[in-house]
C-alpha cells in the first residue's frame, strides 16, 4: 500500500513539473521598447523618388505621397531603411518607386526658405517592399 501511495505521489509530482515546464515555454518574453514602438507605427505605401543621401548607404525617398493622383497633397521626405534583405536602394537611385513599410509618425518642421531639412531630422521609413514605377522621377508638384 505504501509503495502504491508513494508511486502515485511521484507520478503527480512528475506530471506537475511537466505541466509547469510547458506553460513556462509558452509564455513570451515582454516586448522591448523598440518592438512596442514598431507596433504603433502605421504601415503605409508611399510613392516617391529615391535619391542618394549624404553617405553611400543613406537613401532618401523624396516627394513621397500616399495618393499620387491628389494634386493638393504635398510630398514629404523620408530616410529609407531596409527592413528586408532583398531591397537594393542603390540600383534605384533617381527612379520613381512605391515603397511599403512602417513610417515614423515624426512631424518635420518646415525649414527656412532656400534651405533643406537635414537628414537627421527626417522621419524614417522601414521599407518591407519596393516596386519600381518609372525609370526616372516625375517632376515635383
The answer to whether 20 touches 76, Cβ cutoff 8 Å, is no
For residue 101, how many other CB atoms are within 10 A of its CB?
24
Domain 33-134, classified CATH 2.40.50, yes or no: yes
Question: How much of the chain exceeds pLDDT 90, in percent?
Answer: 43
Distance CA 101, CA 89 (A): 14
pLDDT at residue number 4:
59
Mean pLDDT of the chain: 79
The answer to whether 80 touches 127, Cβ cutoff 8 Å, is yes
| pTM for the predicted model, two decimal places | 0.67
- Per residue in 128-137, pLDDT (tens digit) is 999 999 999 9
Residue 67 scores a pLDDT above 50 = yes
- Per residue in 96-121, pLDDT (tens digit) is 999 999 998 877 766 777 777 788 88
Distance CA 125, CA 81 (A): 6
Handedness of CA 121, 123, 129, 135 (dihedral sign): negative
Residue 47 scores a pLDDT above 90 = yes
Distance CA 80, CA 122 (A): 10
Would you list the domain boundaries of the chain?
33-134
Amino acid at each position: 500500500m505504501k509503495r502504491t501511495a508513494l508511486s502515485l505521489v511521484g507520478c503527480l509530482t512528475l506530471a506537475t513539473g511537466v505541466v509547469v515546464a510547458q506553460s513556462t515555454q509558452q509564455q513570451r518574453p515582454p516586448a522591448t521598447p523598440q518592438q512596442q514602438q514598431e507596433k504603433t507605427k502605421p504601415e503605409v505605401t508611399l510613392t516617391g523618388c529615391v535619391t542618394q543621401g549624404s553617405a553611400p548607404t543613406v537613401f532618401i525617398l523624396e516627394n513621397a505621397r500616399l495618393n499620387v493622383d491628389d494634386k493638393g497633397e504635398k510630398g514629404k521626405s523620408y530616410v529609407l531603411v531596409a527592413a528586408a534583405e532583398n531591397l537594393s536602394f542603390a540600383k534605384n537611385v533617381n527612379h520613381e518607386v512605391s515603397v511599403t513599410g512602417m513610417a515614423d509618425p515624426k512631424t518635420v518642421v518646415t525649414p527656412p526658405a532656400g534651405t533643406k531639412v537635414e537628414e537627421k531630422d527626417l522621419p524614417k521609413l522601414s521599407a518591407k517592399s519596393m516596386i519600381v514605377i518609372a525609370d526616372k522621377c516625375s517632376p515635383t508638384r
